[in-house]
Chains A and B, each alone.
Chain A
């Protein structure tokens, strides 16, 4: 490549990057609890269409994100799977006070690929399976809800040797979809559009409601896209999507 060609190429690249940043759209980085993956993608697409802003999503367990945010991760919003961690982020001075709200209430479900396996709590009592998939109960709220359910049913000690743990709810689900575990506790939202297998929607009296809170982080307080995303998440379009994925809403909000 001659110096002249190189110069032209550099000029071309520089011009292209100028053009792409000269639009008015802003961008925000959002940490999303894994159970909310599909809903968040759909919300981000609707958000882009309505506002032109980009919400860049990262998926993982709430515990993992909490740890990363305390270590200065570049997230501007956290959509947690619980309300504890957003509260803690605010008291740590990392979240914007008063920005916290419950965007969804999660539902726990026991699911198997086998259409005849899951028949309600009797299936858990029978113990007729070798591996039960859950996600890490300390890092992921759905894992904690699963443990709480089994404790309510007084089955925790007998079932515990059969646990296999995913690092987050997506992995717990993947253990069941690949058939490596016969059944597992997952989020109802993960079964959206999937009528296969057999399932038991765990009754709400067996575990504390999974209140999933969003919090605007201080890093996003002055970012136009981040503030707009928080508002959009409360609005009717986002709520329609959230409802479609099987989440409930806070009656007080």
Chain B
């Protein structure tokens, strides 16, 4: 195998950094949303659930278009960027993190919500009779019991961010080390007929995706067995 150019390693590192950052933020943001969706009796909660799920159906170009406008100098992103003397959040790592969080949100919220749903009311009622405060019950009862949901959400959020392409292409500007992630690097290699590099990376992504999905299935199976 011919040596791979160093920019591939830069792209791999960047992709992992982006996916890890986005996943951590996703867990922080998605957990309260999932909890609320699971517990609330509000009639409009399914409307909120629908908004969270929209990226499943919307083409990445729709999100990319809105993000390009919203992150830019005439949108809120420009105001935020102004705090450190920049004009736009597009073409930045931070901008990609924002895009990834929006795009991967349903993949994290849904499994966690399902896990909370599966708990039912009983464990929390028992905790309450033992005088646990709602916060304490949440951390010591709900979260540990919903662990498989968190695990699934983490893996899917990470993997889906790694697989993101359309949004990054539209708001990234293909800057090595900042916004040129693996999927964009592969696109560039194909566009410029660099077949060797493209095929190595593409094969790597197939192996990665296989490993992710297989591990998900094994987790599911184990959880099902534990539940028996």
Chain A residues at the B interface, C-beta cutoff of 8 Å: 61, 63-64, 66-67, 70, 130-131, 133, 136, 138-139, 163-167, 171, 174-175, 178-182
Does any Cβ of A come within 8 Å of B188's Cβ?
Answer: yes
11 contacts between A and B (CB under 8 A): A66-B193, A67-B192, A130-B86, A131-B91, A164-B175, A165-B175, A167-B169, A179-B74, A179-B78, A179-B87, A180-B171
Does any Cβ of A come within 8 Å of B190's Cβ?
Answer: yes
Q: In whole Å, how far is A127's beta carbon from the nearest beta carbon of chain B?
A: 15
List 18 additional contacts besides A131-B88, A165-B173, A182-B87; criterion CB under 8 Å.
Answer: A64-B191, A66-B193, A131-B91, A136-B191, A139-B192, A163-B173, A164-B174, A165-B174, A167-B169, A175-B90, A178-B69, A179-B73, A179-B88, A180-B68, A180-B71, A180-B72, A180-B171, A181-B91
Residues of B within 8 A of A133 (CB): 173
A180 touches B90 (CB 8 A): yes
Nearest 6 Cβ contacts at the A-B interface: A164-B173, A165-B174, A138-B192, A180-B90, A179-B73, A139-B191
Residues of A within 8 A of B170 (CB): 171
Q: Known contacts being A139-B188, A165-B174, A165-B175, is A63 close to B87, with CB within 8 Å? A: no
Q: In whole Å, how far is A112's beta carbon from the nearest beta carbon of chain B?
A: 12
Q: Known contacts being A164-B175, A180-B72, is A63 close to B192, with CB within 8 Å? A: yes
A67 touches B88 (CB 8 A): no
Q: Known contacts being A131-B91, A180-B73, is A63 close to B191, with CB within 8 Å? A: yes
Does any Cβ of A come within 8 Å of B187's Cβ?
Answer: yes
Chain B residues at the A interface, C-beta cutoff of 8 Å: 68-69, 71-74, 78, 86-88, 90-91, 169-171, 173-175, 187-188, 190-193
B contact patch SS: loop
Residue of B73, B171, B191 with highest tally of chain A CB at under 10 A: B191
Q: In whole Å, how far is B66's beta carbon from the nearest beta carbon of chain A?
A: 11
Contact partner of A164 among B69, B74, B86, B91, CB < 8 A? Answer: B91
A66 to B171, CA, bound (A): 25
Residues of B within 8 A of A178 (CB): 68-69, 72, 74, 90
A61 touches B191 (CB 8 A): yes
A175 touches B191 (CB 8 A): no
Residues of A within 8 A of B72 (CB): 178-180
Residues of B within 8 A of A139 (CB): 188, 191-192
Contact partner of A67 among B86, B91, B171, B190, CB < 8 A? Answer: B190
A136 touches B73 (CB 8 A): no
A16 to B5, CA, bound (A): 56
A61 to B193, CA, bound (A): 13
A136 to B188, CA, bound (A): 8
Contact partner of A167 among B69, B74, B78, B187, CB < 8 A? Answer: B187
Q: In whole Å, how far is A196's beta carbon from the nearest beta carbon of chain B?
A: 15
A136 touches B91 (CB 8 A): no
Residues of A within 8 A of B78 (CB): 179
A61 to B192, CA, bound (A): 10
Q: Known contacts being A130-B87, A180-B88, is A67 close to B193, with CB within 8 Å? A: yes
A133 to B88, CA, bound (A): 13
Closest-by-CB residue of A relative to B90 is A180
Residues of B within 8 A of A167 (CB): 169, 174, 187, 191
Q: In whole Å, how far is B154's beta carbon from the nearest beta carbon of chain A?
A: 31
A138 to B174, CA, bound (A): 13
Q: In whole Å, how far is B197's beta carbon from the nearest beta carbon of chain A?
A: 12
A164 to B73, CA, bound (A): 16
Residues of B within 8 A of A163 (CB): 173, 175
A139 to B91, CA, bound (A): 20
A106 to B121, CA, bound (A): 69
A63 to B188, CA, bound (A): 10
A206 to B87, CA, bound (A): 30
Residues of A within 8 A of B68 (CB): 174, 178, 180
A63 touches B175 (CB 8 A): no
Residues of A within 8 A of B86 (CB): 130
A1 to B174, CA, bound (A): 53
Residues of A within 8 A of B90 (CB): 175, 178, 180
